[in-house]
Amino acid sequence: MSNLTLHPLWHTFMPTYERSVGVVTLILSAFAFYLMLSKTPQTAKPFAKYLMLLQASITLVDIDYGFLYCPISLFPIPGDLCYGILCTWCGFTGHAGMVLMCFALSGVGISIVYCFHFKYVQIGHICGKNSLYSARHVVFRIAILAMYVLPCLLQIANYRMLAGGPQMVKTEFPSLYYLFENPEYHAFAYDQTMFPEYELVLLVLCVVVS
């Protein structure tokens, strides 16, 4: 059975598809911003700010996925081909796009939690049980921010440049080694034996936050 991730047609279709999705979603995001800015009643303005924060984080995901990163997953290597601006124009490795994606997706999670927390605070305030500016609300938001950002910071370290250790790929995935010898492909991989404790921390935090 042929490996679809190495087929030339797949390398042509996927970047085009990802950029098309990026363009469509950016147009929809711009329309959403317009509606929130121009059509939101005055009484709903405070909540609209949180919705705009959520929409902005989603927009960052779209920009990274559709234009900066444009990843094509490799099989069976735990890595990607990078067809985005970061790799093809700026000369970065795909790991930069992956890290940005982690931060952007974490931003979406943070924004969603903040939206629900704002609703909780408002309901409590209406019922006379909560203060809008209670210290515990601030502590809660800081804790959520830290829980989401910490795995992203650990992700920065959970990577080893193939330029320093290509033998790992050559030994474990000899049939795909040519991808990493050819700079045209902008291929990168993760060494899962590096910093395994980071993977455990990431898993635990994802479970706790979920």
- Predicted confidence at residue 160, as pLDDT, reads 53
- Least confident span in 32-46, 82-96, 136-150, 188-202: 188-202
- Predicted confidence at residue 202, as pLDDT, reads 53
- Predicted confidence at residue 147, as pLDDT, reads 85
CA-to-CA distance for 105 and 66, rounded, in angstroms?
14
Q: Which of 19-28, 175-184, 188-197 has the highest mean pLDDT?
A: 19-28
How high does pLDDT run on average in the chain?
A: 79
pLDDT digits 0-9 by tens, 103-118: 998 899 899 999 998 8
- For the cut 50, the answer to whether the pLDDT of residue 163 exceeds it is no
Indicate yes or no: pTM above 0.85. Answer: no
How big is the CA angle at 146 (ends 62 and 198), to the nearest 5 degrees?
85
Contact 86, 98 (CB under 8 A): no
- Predicted confidence at residue 58, as pLDDT, reads 92
The continuous run of DSSP H or E covering 146 comes out as helix 135-157
- For the cut 50, the answer to whether the pLDDT of residue 195 exceeds it is no
C-beta contacts of 33-36 below 8 A and 24+ residues apart: none
- Predicted confidence at residue 81, as pLDDT, reads 85
CA atoms within 13 A on the CB side of 69: 23
- Predicted confidence at residue 175, as pLDDT, reads 66
Contact 191, 168 (CB under 8 A): yes
- Predicted confidence at residue 152, as pLDDT, reads 81
Q: What is the DSSP letter of 76?
A: S
Share above pLDDT 70 across residues of the chain, in percent, rounded to a whole number: 77
Range 168-184 average pLDDT: 70
What 3-state DSSP class applies to 72? strand
- For the cut 60, the answer to whether the pLDDT of residue 55 exceeds it is yes
Task: Answer with the residue of higher pLDDT: 83 or 175.
Answer: 83
Contact 114, 53 (CB under 8 A): yes
Task: Answer with the residue of higher pLDDT: 173 or 87.
Answer: 87
